[in-house]
Structure 1
Amino acid sequence: MSFIVIAVIVLGAIGLVAAIVLYVLSKKFAVQEDPRLGEVAALLPGANCGGCGFPGCGGLADALVKGADAGSIDGLFCPVGGSAVMGEVADLLGMAVANSEPMVAVVRCNGTCENRPKVSEYSGLRTCTAMNACGAGETACGYGCLGCGDCVSACQFGAIYINPETGIAEVDEEKCTSCGACVKACPRNIIELRKKGPKGRRVYVSCMNRDKGPAAMKACKVSCIGCGKCEKECPFGAIKVEGNLSYIDFNLCRLCRKCVNVCPTHAIEAVNFPAPKPKADKCGTGCGDGKCGIRK
């Protein structure tokens, strides 16, 4: 019986000593959490989408607090919360934050079923990543949208979907938060974040085909052929042709749409612009051609 009592006493003593050691160590090495972390995290939307470049809202909150202590939070931005949330965070931290222009995801492909017909049938795992790994996919274009919806699965906001008629991913700009998840999910890198533009208007090259003109046109009727007409026409130097592909810099573009009119393959998209007005009938003959000569 005495052995049991001794064992209990020894174990109790060991437990007591261990508890004292743990208590002392916890006090000595305690890490005090900045109360601002919780306050900033509470202001953030909690989407944990990674669009800010950090692994979650907690990571962004930590970066914002550290940035405030360093004197600047420039370059830190929550795409989901936008300028409104960042303004609240800046007020909380006593910092100024630069206004960021709204961004939106853009699918740079117009290879619809009509423009880019199928030349084969894919049988396998129905994901863009798997299909891309197997080759060009079901069409002759090795650069366009595969239509399997990896971007759809990645979007937490239901802002992107596959149009059943065209087979191409389309973005609902009203729901898009520019988190960039779809950009990362696309194995062909055809989704880009661009400035939303005034009244949602923007101009971009809806093609990623880098093949030379004849090969590109054979694969898709509305492919960019790298002819350079748009580059020569742009008065603002916003367009460059590299690797047989034209690209419009949205920071330089002034939305004049001159490039749209000269593109021979209609590869340049102009979004949310008003429909062109019908030409005036200047000759008064009812011909509607806008010319002053009388049509016979």
Structure 2
Amino acid sequence: MTPILATSLTIGGAGLACSGLLALAARFLSVEEDPRVEEVTNILPGANCGGCGFAGCANYAEAIIVDNAAINLCAPGGADVLKSLADMLGQTAQAAEHKVAIVLCNGDTANAPRKFEYNGVADCHAAHAIGGGDKLCSYGCLGYASCARVCPVGAIEMTGGIAKVHPDLCISCTACVKACPRQLIKMVPSARTIHVLCSSKDKGPAVKKACKVGCIGCTLCTKQVDDEQIKMEGFLAVVDYAKPLDSDAPIEKCPTHCIVRT
């Protein structure tokens, strides 16, 4: 037997042995996937928005089957998906509290001046990176539509240089929340309709200089409620959405009209 043939046979034999070992390992060490994972994945809408807290629909489906995750976390799927999941898994279809996105800023071009002319990329992250943004208010909506571009259903409209969410169109996916570099967009219960549309943490005089409709920290609104539905966080009035607030008194008392009903 020639050296070349011997070497070839040795290498070939080693390859066959390794192949056999790999085949045995695949047979005995493999983990069978529960077929229900695929069934649940097919029921979910396939938006992969991440609003449920998981990376995508397939990950959420696996969590439902393997980790007993709640079946009511898919906001885009709504009642139909929830009912289908409940029927398939023999669970009760108990809907989660419906939430919608809101932009906590009302400083449009008529009310909030710019401190310089920005000529860069029309993107909020890019604008924010240049000197903290071109808006005089360092907390306000920059207005370059980063949130609107990521909304899968077109629920965000740019009007007067700021973003506005149409609550009747919002599917609670939270994509816009993640897209805002200033963390101005919050998910709030859809049943709550009174909001403080300001996020400035500055004192009153600084707010007045930067925006005509900003919260100046006067505390008048907090005196119009009986259960701390609106409270002060520093110089900013904040709505406690866990508590019902139906009175228009805070709206009427606000001197800068930053409290609105939607």
Same fold (TM over 0.5): yes
The equivalent position to 1:77 in structure 2, one of 65, 69, 73, is 73
Greater CA radius of gyration, 1 or 2? 1
Higher-RCO chain (CA-CA 8 Å, sequence separation at least 6)? 2
Instruction: Name the counterpart of 1:277.
Output: none
Whether 1:209 aligns to 2:200 is yes
Question: How many Å separate the matches in 2 of 1:255 and 1:74?
Answer: 31
Instruction: Name the counterpart of 2:151.
Output: 155
- The Cα offsets for residues 87-139 of structure 1, whole Å up to 9 and x where unpaired, read as 32233222335321221110111111111123321233332112222235333
- The Cα offsets for residues 33-55 of structure 1, whole Å up to 9 and x where unpaired, read as 01111011111111111111111
Secondary structure of the residue that 1:54 maps to in structure 2? Answer: coil
Contact 1:260 1:266 survives alignment (8 Å): yes
Contact 1:208 1:245 survives alignment (8 Å): yes
Question: How many Å separate the matches in 2 of 1:106 and 1:75?
Answer: 25
Instruction: Name the counterpart of 1:180.
Output: 174
Whether 1:193 aligns to 2:184 is no
Backbone CA RMSD of aligned residues = 2.2
Contact 1:82 1:102 survives alignment (8 Å): no
Question: How many Å separate the matches in 2 of 1:13 and 1:188?
Answer: 63
User: Which 4+ residue blocks in structure 1 deviate beyond 4 angstroms?
Assistant: 1-12
Question: How many Å separate the matches in 2 of 1:134 and 1:14?
Answer: 61
Contact 1:152 1:161 survives alignment (8 Å): yes
Equivalence map 1:93-242=2 (5 Å): 93-163=89-159, 166-197=160-191, 202-242=193-233
Contact 2:71 2:85 survives alignment (8 Å): no
Counterpart residue identity of residue 238, structure 1 = Q
Instruction: Name the counterpart of 1:290.
Output: none
- The Cα offsets for residues 215-245 of structure 1, whole Å up to 9 and x where unpaired, read as 1111111111111111110133211111110
Equivalence map 1:13-52=2 (5 Å): 13-52=13-52
Deviation at 1:268, TM superposition (A): 0.6
Instruction: Name the counterpart of 1:57.
Output: 57
Secondary structure of the residue that 1:260 maps to in structure 2? Answer: helix
Contact 2:71 2:82 survives alignment (8 Å): no
Instruction: Name the counterpart of 2:260.
Output: 269
Contact 2:203 2:216 survives alignment (8 Å): yes
Deviation at 1:17, TM superposition (A): 2.6
Q: How many residues align?
A: 262
Q: Could you list the runs of 5+ residues in structure 2 that have no partner in the other structure?
A: none
Counterpart residue identity of residue 103, structure 2 = V
Deviation at 1:3, TM superposition (A): 7.0
Question: How many Å separate the matches in 1 of 2:3 and 2:247?
Answer: 95
Question: How many Å separate the matches in 2 of 1:126 and 1:146?
Answer: 10
Q: Could you list the runs of 5+ residues in structure 1 that have no partner in the other structure?
A: 272-296
Which TM-score applies when normalising by structure 1? 0.81
- After superposition, the Cα gap between the structure-2 partners of 1:67 and 1:21, relative to the gap in structure 1 and judged at 3 Å, is closer
Most deviating of 75-84 and 262-271? 75-84
Question: How many Å separate the matches in 2 of 1:89 and 1:15?
Answer: 47
Contact 2:71 2:86 survives alignment (8 Å): no
Question: How many Å separate the matches in 1 of 2:77 and 2:161?
Answer: 31
Deviation at 1:76, TM superposition (A): 5.8
